[in-house]
Structure 1
């Protein structure tokens, strides 16, 4: 411990003992500008969970502004010679800045793309973090720093509130507030004519969660199948074939006869507020033969978000005929994440049913905007790794109906 203290004193001697108070006051002013500007931007541009974080940053900026005024007032008198850590407001402001200045580095380290612009953006927080750590540390070593009870509480509670907010939105919320939507699909016979049947499909959605849910994609599909032979007993090979992890569910002996109807029952970028229920129905005609059985499948890709998305554009390169693919940039959740967060993007693919995979399905990948790798193999496919404010969930529900009786 003694060796550490000696080392710190030597580091102090290099710069901080000779630190000019007239120059240091501009560091306080820079803290005020940076924290207030980012706080106001996030408060008005993003809102939501960042309101509290924005207010904390604005408060930190104001504390450093108080320190700037105190140093400025002292420099006009110069009765005695004081170090920067001789002002309680300066110590409180610099100590409060530490947690918020660490966050940009955490975002960059946890990201996947590190370009020159990211390092340029990090120069300012690195410069301010250097002083934010050194000033309180120098006050402890020098034993000349003075903190009143009020400023001591500010120095303790403001960083704690910032860390608590960061923990909530980064770790707790993504794990405990995922999209929760009930999906009910129904197939009913409306009327029957010789040789054909009029059917009605109904899809009911209800947001049973506590957060507003945005819809990246919501597609229904009706497929036709024959009825499997009556009394057919499965052998072990059939069981292994049906439970193959690479295959979709509903894998039975029925023969796939084609895709009869497909559509979207909620627009891309639409929202479901908590407790909101949406019901969609449609009618269609079907020949009883050779399609003896109908299967209605509803697939959704959901994400927690109260912001509006960019336009959905076709994926690049253009997919082949077996699936449709669209992509959109996720809305930024804060100014610093917009600058350092790699530009998270959602890529949604709708796969048509085939002879081997008889259920249409959605696949949603989340990747960095400039990422050129395979999203299915890279950890970029996890949305929380790119932006923990967004939490996602896919939902699929199916129902069958016999039309030959």
Structure 2
């Protein structure tokens, strides 16, 4: 403990005592400019609950502006400069800025790509963080700075509010406000002709969660399967194969034949508000092949609403064995995430079956915008790793119907 105190005192003496208030006031002015600009920018960019974080940054910027005026007023009347930690407003402004200055580093560390631009962007936060930490430690260790009750409350509550907001959006919100959609799929026979059966498919979607949801993709498929009769009692090996942890099959005796019908349920980028319910119904004819069954499958790719997706475009390159592939950039969350967050992108593909077992299905991956296929790096990064403010979910529901011979 003694060695730690000695080290901090030497650090204090080396970097701060040689810097008087006349010089340090420009650091305060930089703090004001940085926090105010980023706060105002993000406030008009995002809104919602993230606007609270913007207001906190604007408040920190104003506290540092008040500190700048206090130092300026003191220097205009006193000939001897006072150490920066001698001003309660300076201590409050610097202590309040520490949590917010750590966030850009957290974004970069949890990101996927680290390039020269990221390092350049972090230079200014690193510069301001160094002085904020050193001034705060000087006020504690030097015992020469004293906070008034008002400035002490500000220095304690502003950083706490910032950390509370960060915890709520990053951890609590992503855990308790996941996309939740109740999906019901139905297949019914509505008529029959010689050799044909008239079918009706019905899909009901209801947002039963508390958050508005953006739909990246929502499709349905009707597939044709041939059924072979099971004419024996299941053996132990049959049960083991059916329950193998790496297999998810509806019926091991079924063979996928073809894709009969496919369509989109909701446009890409569409929204489902809490409590909203959508019901889609369609009819189609099928041939009455012996031992035939139909499977109606609804597949959804969802993400918590955080802006408008208006940049969907074909994937480049298009993955193999896919009918269609599109990708779109996730909307900006903040200026710092735009600069440091690697540009998270959603890539949605509708796969082409490669054999008689697999059926067409929807696949969603989240990748870094600037990923170029670097060796040893996996492009399929989960969206929460790239940007924890967002929460995604994929849903699949199916129902089968046996067509009479």
Residues 374, 11 of structure 1: CA spacing in aligned structure 2 closer, same or farther, 3 A cutoff? closer
Residues 321, 135 of structure 1: CA spacing in aligned structure 2 closer, same or farther, 3 A cutoff? closer
Question: Does the CA-based 8 Å contact 1:379-1:385 persist in structure 2?
Answer: no
Q: What do the CA deviations read for 1:143-175 (whole angstroms, capped 9, x no partner)?
A: 220210010000011111111111111222222
Report the TM-score, using the length of structure 2 for normalisation.
Answer: 0.94
Residues 86, 374 of structure 1: CA spacing in aligned structure 2 closer, same or farther, 3 A cutoff? closer
Report the counterpart of residue 329 of structure 2 in structure 1.
Answer: 329
Residues 47, 175 of structure 1: CA spacing in aligned structure 2 closer, same or farther, 3 A cutoff? same
Instruction: State how far apart, in whole Å, the 2-side matches of 1:379 and 1:398 are.
Output: 30
Instruction: State how far apart, in whole Å, the 1-side matches of 2:333 and 2:54 are.
Output: 12
Question: Does the CA-based 8 Å contact 1:367-1:381 persist in structure 2?
Answer: yes
Instruction: State how far apart, in whole Å, the 2-side matches of 1:125 and 1:218 are.
Output: 42
Q: How big is the shift at 1:80?
A: 4.8
Instruction: State how far apart, in whole Å, the 1-side matches of 2:372 and 2:258 are.
Output: 35
Question: Does the CA-based 8 Å contact 1:228-1:252 persist in structure 2?
Answer: no
Matches within 5 A, 1:268-347: 268-290=268-290, 292-347=292-347
Report the counterpart of residue 13 of structure 1 in structure 2.
Answer: 13
Report the counterpart of residue 73 of structure 1 in structure 2.
Answer: 73
Q: How big is the shift at 1:95?
A: 0.3
Instruction: State how far apart, in whole Å, the 2-side matches of 1:268 and 1:352 are.
Output: 20
Matches within 5 A, 1:91-130: 91-130=91-130
Instruction: State how far apart, in whole Å, the 2-side matches of 1:229 and 1:377 are.
Output: 46
Moved more, 229-238 or 107-116: 229-238
Q: What do the CA deviations read for 1:251-296 (whole angstroms, capped 9, x no partner)?
A: 3313333111011111111110111111111111111125721110
Report the counterpart of residue 176 of structure 2 in structure 1.
Answer: 176
Report the counterpart of residue 207 of structure 2 in structure 1.
Answer: 207
Q: How big is the shift at 1:46?
A: 1.2
Q: What do the CA deviations read for 1:175-216 (whole angstroms, capped 9, x no partner)?
A: 222111000001112221111111111111000001111111
Q: How big is the shift at 1:238?
A: 3.4
Matches within 5 A, 1:33-44: 33-44=33-44
Q: Is there any run of 5+ residues in structure 1 with no aligned partner, and where? A: none
Q: How big is the shift at 1:87?
A: 0.8
Moved more, 52-61 or 375-384: 375-384
Report the counterpart of residue 25 of structure 1 in structure 2.
Answer: 25
Q: How big is the shift at 1:231?
A: 4.5
Residues 327, 278 of structure 1: CA spacing in aligned structure 2 closer, same or farther, 3 A cutoff? same
Instruction: State how far apart, in whole Å, the 1-side matches of 2:86 and 2:246 are.
Output: 67
Residues 238, 193 of structure 1: CA spacing in aligned structure 2 closer, same or farther, 3 A cutoff? same
Residues 325, 292 of structure 1: CA spacing in aligned structure 2 closer, same or farther, 3 A cutoff? same
Q: Is there any run of 5+ residues in structure 2 with no aligned partner, and where? A: none
Q: How big is the shift at 1:228?
A: 3.0
Question: Does the CA-based 8 Å contact 2:322-2:349 persist in structure 1?
Answer: no
Residues 368, 223 of structure 1: CA spacing in aligned structure 2 closer, same or farther, 3 A cutoff? same
Q: How big is the shift at 1:380?
A: 4.9
Three-state SS of the structure 1 residue aligned to 2:263 is strand
Three-state SS of the structure 2 residue aligned to 1:381 is coil
Report the counterpart of residue 224 of structure 1 in structure 2.
Answer: 224
Instruction: State how far apart, in whole Å, the 2-side matches of 1:380 and 1:9 are.
Output: 48
Q: How big is the shift at 1:7?
A: 2.3
Instruction: State how far apart, in whole Å, the 1-side matches of 2:375 and 2:326 are.
Output: 14
Question: Does the CA-based 8 Å contact 1:225-1:256 persist in structure 2?
Answer: yes
Instruction: State how far apart, in whole Å, the 1-side matches of 2:21 and 2:263 are.
Output: 68
Instruction: State how far apart, in whole Å, the 2-side matches of 1:22 and 1:286 are.
Output: 85
Instruction: State how far apart, in whole Å, the 2-side matches of 1:255 and 1:143 are.
Output: 79
Question: Does the CA-based 8 Å contact 1:384-1:391 persist in structure 2?
Answer: yes
Residues 388, 105 of structure 1: CA spacing in aligned structure 2 closer, same or farther, 3 A cutoff? same
Three-state SS of the structure 1 residue aligned to 2:4 is helix
Report the counterpart of residue 190 of structure 1 in structure 2.
Answer: 190
Moved more, 220-229 or 119-128: 220-229
Instruction: State how far apart, in whole Å, the 2-side matches of 1:149 and 1:236 are.
Output: 75
Residues 60, 145 of structure 1: CA spacing in aligned structure 2 closer, same or farther, 3 A cutoff? same
Question: Does the CA-based 8 Å contact 1:189-1:200 persist in structure 2?
Answer: yes
Question: Does the CA-based 8 Å contact 1:169-1:389 persist in structure 2?
Answer: yes
Report the counterpart of residue 363 of structure 2 in structure 1.
Answer: 363
Instruction: State how far apart, in whole Å, the 2-side matches of 1:253 and 1:109 are.
Output: 49
Question: Does the CA-based 8 Å contact 2:215-2:267 persist in structure 1?
Answer: yes
Report the counterpart of residue 263 of structure 1 in structure 2.
Answer: 263
